Amino acid sequence: MQKAAPYIALAALLAVAFLLKRVGELEDRLQALATGRPAVAMAATASPAPVEVAQNMGRIQAYANKMWSAGQAGNLPLVDFYRHEMKEEMEAVANGGVVDDGVPVSEHMKTYGIRAMEALKADLKANGLTDFNDQYAVLISTCNSCHVTCGHPELRMRVPSMGRYTDQEFAP
């Protein structure tokens, strides 16, 4: 048994090294999924992860809430920043080829979400924040229309009644 001890120790070290490498790869994948950017290690060895619409929608909702808070504070640059972040999440869904139970989610995102973001961008450029509350209400209505079209009328968004991010300054 003592002659086998070095071999067992070597095997254990190799197993630990393998597990550490695998944990690193998984951390890279999680980071890539969290940021929406491809991981360097994944790009060479694996196919892209499928789009998980609920995760993208959660980020869109968070950005929309922050955009609303920035608009209420009169911070046009921050409003436009969050509009851009929302559009990036929408583009991930739009370009993901998502079809769920026969519903072409990606195509609907192009029709509803991307167009709404482009319209909001044009309005912000032309009018600043003068009609922000109305434009935000239109955006929320567009989101709800898409949810109905996709077969999820139970997903009803609304204009926030108060900001949920109390740890961020929204004023210019």
Domain coordinates in residue numbering, the chain: 5-45, 53-149
- Summary mean pLDDT of the chain: 83
What does each C-alpha distance from 93 to 70, 74, 89, 96 come to in angstroms?
25, 30, 7, 5
What pLDDT, on a 0 to 100 scale, did the predictor assign at position 84? 96
Q: Please, which pLDDT band fits residue 149 given cuts at 50, 70 and 90?
A: very high
The residue with greater pLDDT, 57 or 42, is: 57
pLDDT above 80 (res 68): yes
Distance, in Å, from the CA atom of 140 to the CA atom of 159, rounded to the nearest integer, reads 7
Stronger pLDDT, 91 or 2, i.e. the higher one:
91
State the Cα–Cα distance between residues 132 and 136, nearest whole angstrom. 6
Neighbours of 52 (CB within 10 A): 14
* pTM, two decimal places: 0.70
Mean pLDDT of 73-77: 97
Q: How confident is the model at residue 41 (pLDDT cuts 50, 70, 90)?
A: very low
Mean pLDDT of 139-161: 94
Q: What pLDDT, on the 0 to 100 scale, is given for residue 7?
A: 59
**Cα radius of gyration (the chain):** 22
7-16 pLDDT, tens digit each? 565 555 555 5
pLDDT at 40 over 50: no
Structure tokens at 41: 């290690």
Q: Which of 162, 114, 113 is nearest to 141 (CA)?
A: 113
